[in-house]
Amino acid sequence: MAHQEGLSAEAKTAARAVREPPPPRPKRFYQRVSVDGPPFRVLLDDKPVSTPLRRPLVAPTRAMADAVAAEWDAQVTEVDPSSMHVMRLLATWIDKVADGRAAITDELLAHADADLICYRADNPADLKARQDRTWQPVLNGLRDRYGLSINVGEGVLPFTQLPATKSRLREVVDGLDAGRFTAAQAVAGITGSLALAITMADGATTAAGVFEAALLDELYQRDKWGEDNLARARRDAIAADLAGIEVFLKAL
């Protein structure tokens, strides 16, 4: 799962915005946001919110419904869907994960050999040390919690994980409840790392920790050569995505 290819739509949009103005956003069309239930629903002027597939947007907890309601209420004069992270994750759960989890799992496992944190630099020495210091504890944690022995290599030449490792990875992913699975697939899509996705989904790291690990090489280049506006916009979008996933996880 290549890092660039795994960027969320919001991260790509933010990067393009440095070069071109954003498209117009819809105006805020409601006055009041509220929550009712159980079952917990978000209401806009007493009308329940639906998913993009027009399914009822029902939250599993009051905390999650409140988080979605806060996102709707935070829209001032225009509605910016890219700022509504919990709303999008809950809609993904309802519209995609509920019916298509097996296919999503297959896609995640198909990229197990390309996990970002398994490919270490052979030089320079300070980058290699930074990768080992940041990435290896993630893999050690997966080994200790799940018995996962994930191999790492140096350089960019591809290598494959052992069949037993992939089988155990599938068992771990299958063991995530639906909400944490939804979060994990989102993290994997943003970061290019299933290892980081599982680690955040099971609560072993934070959004800030995932950001530091996923953007390690880019942050290293920034520290060496200075800031770039396009890269910064992209990083800001990734940070916002991850922070939203963290809110979603805490609300489960």
Q: pLDDT tens digits, residue range 132-181?
A: 999 999 999 999 999 999 999 998 889 999 999 999 999 999 999 999 99
| Structural domain includes residue 70 | no
17-27: pLDDT as tens digits? 445 666 788 89
Looking at the domain assignment, is residue 242 inside a domain?
yes
Q: Is residue 133 a part of any domain in this protein?
A: yes
50 belongs to a structural domain: no
CATH code (residue 195): 1.10.3580.10
Total of domains in the chain: 1
Which pLDDT tens digit goes with each residue over 61-99? 999 999 999 999 999 999 999 999 999 999 999 999 999
State the residue range of the domain holding 93.
Answer: 9-20+85-250
Reported as a single tens digit per residue, the pLDDT across 40-63 is: 999 999 999 999 999 999 999 999
Distance CA 10, CA 234 (A): 9
Using a pLDDT cut of 70, give the percent of the chain over it: 91
Quote the pLDDT of residue 2. Answer: 43
Q: Is residue 71 part of a domain?
A: no
29 located within any domain: no
Q: What pLDDT is attached to residue 3?
A: 44
Distance between CA atoms of 243 and 39, rounded to whole angstroms?
A: 26
Residue 59 placed within a domain: no
CB 68 within 8 A of CB 87: yes
Q: Is residue 75 situated within a structural domain?
A: no
pLDDT of residue 19: 54
Q: What percent of the chain has pLDDT over 90?
A: 84
The yes-or-no verdict on residue 10 having pLDDT over 90 is no
- DSSP one-letter string for the chain: --TTTT--HHHHHHHHHTTSPPPPPPBP--S-EEEETTTEEEEETTEE-B-TTS-B-EESSHHHHHHHHHHHHH--SB--GGG-HHHHHHHHIIIIIHHHHHHHHHHHHHTGGG-GGGEE-SS-HHHHHHHHHHHHHHHHHHHHHH------EESS------HHHHHHHHHHHHTS-HHHHHHHHHHHHHHS-HHHHHHHHTTSS-HHHHHHHHTHHHHHHHHHH---HHHHHHHHHHHHHHHHHHHHHHT-
pLDDT digits (tens, 9 = 90+) for 187-216: 999 999 999 999 999 999 999 999 999 999
